[in-house]
Amino acid sequence: MRKITYNLAAAPQVNGRAFALRAVLLVLASLLLGFIAVAHQAGRSGKGRPATVGAGAIAAQMDEMQRQGRRRAAELASWKKAMKRALATVNYLIARKGFSLVSRLDFLEKNFSPGIRIRQLSLANEDDGRMRMTITARSLQELFALYKRLAPYELAISSESQVGDEYQVNMSLKVPNEKI
């Protein structure tokens, strides 16, 4: 329980001696605190050198880590290069494996109307290879209709001639796997 001081007097007096004693004690306590603070600060600054050494060690460690990082990045790049070649080979093999002559012949059969005949056909065994062919048509309408249908497949007409009542055309087009 706190100390009870019950004094209703309008003009209580301060105990001079007790006040002086408290004031002296307060001053002494302040001085002691100041001394402790100074001593503590001095102790801290004395410990500054080992702290610098510690900071140096940390900087060296960081340098080492950066060096390791660079070395690993270079290793990764060389790995990527080596893998790229292997990857390209694998992709090429997959592409060859995925190339379908049958699908391309089906494509031609679907798009060519009955009045058009294929006289000659050459196919490259690769996805981006062009199909070259020589065709004959009995009517211009059928031929133009064919051109229209093949236009999205990079159609290139190298020659077009009329022989008798037939039209003969040399052309090439490109049919990638994904469009079949």
Partner 1 sequence: MDLSELLLPQRLPRQVVFAGDRHAEIIVLRERGGISRVRVEGASLAEGGERDWAEVLAKLQPGATGVVFSASPFIYNFFEFDKLPWQRKALRELVAWRLQKIFPENIASYDHRFFRLDAKRVLSILVRRSLAEKAEQALRESGLPLIYLGNSTMEILARLQRAKIRPDFFIESDRDSCTMVFLDRRSPVYIRKFKSSSPADAVEEIARTVTFVRDQYGAAARHYCLIDHQDEASAAAMEENLAAADLARLNDGLGPAPYIPGCP
For helices 140-150 and 101-111, give the axis angle rounded to 10 degrees: 140
| Interacting span for partner 1 (CB under 8 A) from 10-18, 34-42, 59-67, 80-88 | 10-18
What SS3 class is residue 107? helix
Interacting positions 21-60 with partner 1 (CB under 8 A): 22, 26
- Which among 106, 174, 113 is positioned nearest to 145, based on CA atoms? 113
Interaction of residue 125 with partner 1, rule CB under 8 A:
no
Residue whose CB is less far from partner 1, 20 or 55: 20
Tokens representing 125 are 């065994």
Residue whose CB is less far from partner 1, 22 or 117: 22
| Number of residues lying near partner 1 (CB under 8 A) | 20
Q: How far apart are CA 169 and CA 135, in angstroms?
A: 5
Residue whose CB is less far from partner 1, 11 or 101: 11
Residue whose CB is less far from partner 1, 12 or 114: 12
Interaction of residue 15 with partner 1, rule CB under 8 A:
yes
CB of 44 to partner 1, least distance (A): 32
Tokens representing 150 are 């093949």
Residue whose CB is less far from partner 1, 4 or 73: 4
Tokens representing 164 are 């008798």
CB of 30 to partner 1, least distance (A): 13
Give how far the C-alpha of residue 142 lies from the chain's centroid of Cα atoms, to the nearest Å: 50
Tokens representing 19 are 């006040």
CB of 72 to partner 1, least distance (A): 60
Strands laid side by side in the 166-173 sheet: 116-122, 131-137, 166-173, 156-163
Residues that bind partner 1 (CB under 8 A): 1-16, 18-19, 22, 26
